[in-house]
A = this chain, B = another copy of it.
Amino acid sequence: MIEDTIQIRTRYAEVDQMGYVYHANHVMYCHQARTELMRNYGIQDSVLENNNILLAVVDFQVNFRSPARYDEELTIVTTLKKMAAATIHFEYEITNDNNELICSATSKVAFVDRDSRRPVRAPRFLREAFHTRV
């Protein structure tokens, strides 16, 4: 299973007047978590860029169970769920300091050619990067 775990400390700018991390910011956290998973497999974004590949989020679904608060250290576990022909699917689980699951999410991300801005097949180096560890 291809999986990665990161910690993110919530920032003051990210918290709303309820004292909760503003809900859209969890989407950004998941993005950061996916970036770090890929980095761990040798695919930092500069590698994609050098291969003329952009990643575009197609679908995002998120369920909020409990709020995150300011200055909490959140843990995000990201799992690669599926490599399809032209998309890659991730799952995210965010837990707080007390090890409570506060948020879960999934994203479907498409490969896009940087010049044409059209969808393309998953690049070989990316398939290989993930296969070598599966």
Contact = CB atoms under 8 A, between A and B. Distances in A.
- Chain A: interface size category: 20 to 34
Binding site secondary structure of chain A: mixed
This chain's copy number in the assembly: 4
A125 interface: no
A71 B46 contact: yes
Interface string A1-25: 0000000000111011111101111
Interface stretch (A58-66, A81-89, A92-100): A58-66
A32 B45 contact: no
Contact of A57 (B17, B19, B31, B64): B64
Given A32-B11, A46-B71, A57 B23 contact: yes
A130 interface: no
10 contacts: A12-B17, A12-B31, A13-B24, A17-B19, A18-B54, A23-B31, A24-B24, A35-B71, A46-B71, A59-B61
